[in-house]
Structure 1
């Protein structure tokens, strides 16, 4: 019998069910409810949610606390037949995290191909969180690439067609952290439904590939951006978004607060978010406004002031330009939908 101190799971990287079956065996889980597994025994305790949403698109959520270290050792495939995106605790990839700066979120985002050996350690007596999406090459081509414009489609196609080993790890940002919040706040295990899991997985998929294409994550090292500078941008951006009723600070104020020149700040912000500070902030205000309007709890004037517009007329004009309908039309549409229900 293997020692728990040296416990390890070795599996074929291109066969996701192989990892799950070995993990269940190690954790001594014999019974499960559909695609939900819960356990509390000598190995530790936790919950696992794993399912195939559709052919070529699998999702897995691990929330564990083990009594001994567990080494995860995938065996690389010869070709990149599968791709994995994971949001997980930032200490699971300890060796590769040398350049990752700690931030307000205890998570990182990882992109890996099946031809790489992305070994991990599940450390003992620490809460382990990992939300993973695994895609076949065919699924990405059919569901992501064909819906993109020509240039981003070529960019993404170039990545997935390569048989070079790909392993990239970066800090999580505010958008990806919202996905984690959803996973931690929704009672997925009790609801035991693919629909909610599918919605969350799809949200992460769309956000992730958009960021990958726009270089909003995995900033290329040849741009000579320091990880600490990137983290400063994420931190200041999160601070701006905490109260959308306040006007966005000027570039001069923002750059001074993080100790950068205005030119460097604008360049780095654009590289990370593929947008200017003003436009990013405006988009967030409008998205929040749409949520307020959809709730039916507020008037248009109240919503305008709640998201930082001094004049409701300006708010209505920009809202219509962005979403193709006025706030009044938007509210009417959702009122009718509510009546139908």
Structure 2
């Protein structure tokens, strides 16, 4: 399937819209609504700008193409980028497009300060609805000053940092209400502002609480680079046993940091990720019919085909023999 690639500079959403208009088409209405409609594809951006460097963005997206965005940093540590996924799935990736960071039901919030690139991949034929904020620390000081000290602790100005975290349950209802307001209110702008500030304050409450409980893990640029190298190693060494102490030592980190960072980024443990990749590779080879169960089990580091078959059935729900093509 075809993929559309869009490059733009990080910052306010108008940068993205300008590039969409030039490279993809569509129209920009009343200086705040981007609309594209063709066949099954529908892309709607509703941009609500209130102060300089404070906007709320509602996206309703469905495309028959895979869609990737590649963003260059705005080099503005004062501007925070906050994205909440209401429906669908967006994969965030760093530098290498094949190293995707899946945003699923347990990690539906991404907050970062734009000092390094976290790019996006939206799969074709998947409806995606998100609510985004672009808000400067100056605006936070003006409209919710009681949060500023904690926000400064989370986002120091001298380094790129991002947080992937869960979406508090109470915010799911508020996100639904945002889209209802957009569709039904005759004058949505003040209502969107009120609802947006409520969402931001409750999100900040949640994130600050997680940080105080030492349950929020920020990933710096070096963490991303290191974790993607670890992921690559796991994918390329499917036959070897994973030893966390050895892996942590090789990449210059403690075992506890390895476990915590990997869980933050990939929403699974190192062992479970390695096992899932092995079983995915086994499924691919079984379907091709080019390898026997014995060959696959040995190549993936299992002592006997029976142990491999037991694990394959546990993970995939079927016996390997059922996958082999009929002769």
Q: For this structure pair, what is the TM-score category when the shorter chain's length is used for normalisation? A: 0.5 to 0.7
2:90 corresponds to: 92
Q: Which moved more, 1:5-14 or 1:127-136?
A: 5-14
1:7 aligns with 2:13: no
The separation in 2 between residues aligned to 1:218 and 1:17, in whole angstroms, is 36
- What is the DSSP-based 3-state SS (H/G/I as helix, E as strand, rest coil) of the residue aligned with 2:61? strand
Taking the TM superposition and a 5 Å limit, the aligned residue runs for 1:34-73 are: 35-41=32-38, 44-73=41-70
> C-alpha deviations, 1:220-277, integer Å up to 9, x for none?
35698878xx99xxxxxxxxxxxxxxxxxxxxxxxxxxxxxxxxxxxxxxxxxxxxxx
User: So what's the TM-score if we normalise by structure 1?
Assistant: 0.55
1:163 corresponds to: 158
The separation in 2 between residues aligned to 1:167 and 1:195, in whole angstroms, is 30
Deviation at 1:52, TM superposition (A): 0.9
The separation in 2 between residues aligned to 1:192 and 1:23, in whole angstroms, is 26
Deviation at 1:192, TM superposition (A): 4.9
Taking the TM superposition and a 5 Å limit, the aligned residue runs for 1:10-25 are: 10-25=7-22
Determine if contact 1:75/1:117 at 8 Å carries over to the other structure.
Answer: yes
Deviation at 1:68, TM superposition (A): 0.5
Structure 2 stretches lacking a partner, 5+ long:
93-98, 218-255, 269-327
The CA RMSD over aligned residues, in Å, is 3.2
> C-alpha deviations, 1:170-193, integer Å up to 9, x for none?
222212212222124334466353
The separation in 1 between residues aligned to 2:32 and 2:186, in whole angstroms, is 12
Structure having the larger proportion of residues in helix = 1
- What is the DSSP-based 3-state SS (H/G/I as helix, E as strand, rest coil) of the residue aligned with 1:191? coil
Q: In the comparison of the two structures, how many residue pairs are matched? A: 217
The separation in 1 between residues aligned to 2:13 and 2:191, in whole angstroms, is 21
1:294 corresponds to: none
The separation in 2 between residues aligned to 1:187 and 1:79, in whole angstroms, is 30
Deviation at 1:37, TM superposition (A): 3.4
Determine if contact 1:9/1:71 at 8 Å carries over to the other structure.
Answer: yes
The separation in 1 between residues aligned to 2:75 and 2:206, in whole angstroms, is 28
Q: Pick from 74, 77, 91 the counterpart of residue 77 of structure 1.
A: 74
Deviation at 1:97, TM superposition (A): 4.0
Determine if contact 1:62/1:130 at 8 Å carries over to the other structure.
Answer: yes
The separation in 2 between residues aligned to 1:110 and 1:13, in whole angstroms, is 15
The separation in 2 between residues aligned to 1:187 and 1:172, in whole angstroms, is 21
User: So what's the TM-score if we normalise by structure 2?
Assistant: 0.57
Determine if contact 1:81/1:114 at 8 Å carries over to the other structure.
Answer: no
Determine if contact 1:212/1:218 at 8 Å carries over to the other structure.
Answer: no
Determine if contact 1:36/1:192 at 8 Å carries over to the other structure.
Answer: no
1:220 aligns with 2:220: no
- What is the DSSP-based 3-state SS (H/G/I as helix, E as strand, rest coil) of the residue aligned with 1:161? coil
2:130 corresponds to: 130
